[in-house]
Amino acid sequence: MTGAPEAGESGSAIERVRAACEARQLPIDIIEYPAGTRTAEDAARAVGASVGQIVKSLVFVADGAPILVLASGANRVDLRKLARLAGAARVEKASAETTREATGFAIGGVPPLGHRRPLAVYVDRGLLAHPVVYAAAGTPRAVFAVAPDALARATTGTVGDLAEEPSADPAR
């Protein structure tokens, strides 16, 4: 056996992601980068892609329930847009602990699928502007390349505009 399974989870983090992708008929190739892919910027540097091509897999809490947002590394998530898309009255960013509890993965390695329990998924349509994007594969050193439309299908994600306007005028 290789790799240390995480306490309370069956299989290593990477193996859980691989198995989830296989179960959804999503063919992927997981690549590990010793330099690390913890943040979108780190991942972009390691892969040699633009930061917009990096998938941020972010947990939010919508009316008390954890949900997952797949956002482009180039965008910040607009909480009002997310609340509207998710049909929730109140949405907030999840803590590191809630993220770990909901997904079974630690921040920096949270993948878009393969979570401990199924989460409703919302996809930032900014990801669809790229032919290929790169998502975390369970650890802060592993990513996989995937076509964004295939990723949205495999996660049964709801696609919408979730990007915070970069030019928003705070005085308005």
- Nearer to ligand 5CA (CB atom), residue 57 or residue 169: 57
Which string of b and e fits 48-59 if b means at least 16 CB within 10 Å?
Answer: ebebbbbbbbbb
CA 163 to chain centre: 15
Binding site for ligand 5CA (CB under 6 A): 37-40, 43, 54-58, 95-96, 107-110, 135-136, 140, 143
Query: Smallest distance from the beta carbon of 99 to ligand 5CA, in angstroms?
Result: 6
Identity of the residue, 48 or 172, whose beta carbon is nearer to ligand 5CA in the bound complex: 48
Closest approach, Cβ 15 to ligand 5CA, in A, equals: 17
Report, in Å, the least distance between residue 153 CB and ligand 5CA.
19
CA distances from 120 to 41, 111, 149 (A): 26, 14, 17
Least distance CB 110 / ligand 5CA (angstroms): 5
**Least distance (Å) from ligand 5CA to the CB of residue 85?**
18
Alpha carbon distance 22, 167 (integer Å): 41
Tell me if residue 114 falls in helix, strand or coil. coil
The smaller minimum CB distance to ligand 5CA, of residues 37 and 155, is found at 37
Residue in 53, 80, 55 with CA at minimum distance from that of residue 68: 55
Helix, strand counts (H, E) of the chain:
5, 8
Nearest residue (CB) to ligand 5CA, 38 versus 125: 38
SS3 assignment for 65-86:
EEEEEEEECCCCECHHHHHHHH
Nearer to ligand 5CA, 155 or 169 (CB): 155
